[in-house]
Amino acid sequence: MTVTVVVNDGSRVQDLDEKTPTPHEDDGLVHYQEGKAAGRVVVVGRSTCTFCVKVQTVLAELLADDALIVLNCDKLADGAAVRKAAREDSGGHKSVPMVFIGNRFLGGCDTVSQSVTVGSWQQ
């Protein structure tokens, strides 16, 4: 399963511990906005957050290739802007992960895990 991770060289899964700066690191907000507009699943989180990693793993197992965009704000030069936009779009949700399906805010780790368990996460 391929997961799009906007970090380092960006369009495919990368070593999440690597901090080599590239031009893609400041495109997080663009990827966030375009991913939501295209109806993709967008996860806004941090690479060191166990809840974020759990959600990313669960969704990566469920989704077709290139259907998931993971934005780890601690790895993005514009991570603060991505997180601010996600907070506004979620109605004020402050913790990560923040999961969106298109323009609809789904929730965080507990909500996604529960939705996946009962099979209603895409409805």
In the CATH hierarchy, which fold is given to the domain comprising 4-118? Glutaredoxin (3.40.30)
What pLDDT sits at residue 64? 76
In DSSP terms, 45 is beta-bridged to: 72
What distance in Å separates the CA atoms of residue 110 and residue 7, rounded to the nearest whole number?
A: 25
What spatial distance separates the first Cα and last Cα of the chain, rounded to whole Å?
22
What distance in Å separates the CA atoms of residue 66 and residue 74, rounded to the nearest whole number?
A: 22
Q: Answer yes or no: is pLDDT of 40 > 70.
A: yes
What is the pTM assigned to this prediction? 0.77
Stronger pLDDT, 120 or 19, i.e. the higher one: 120
Q: What is the pLDDT of residues 69-87, one digit of tens each?
A: 999 999 999 999 999 999 9
Parse the chain into domains and list their residue ranges. 4-118
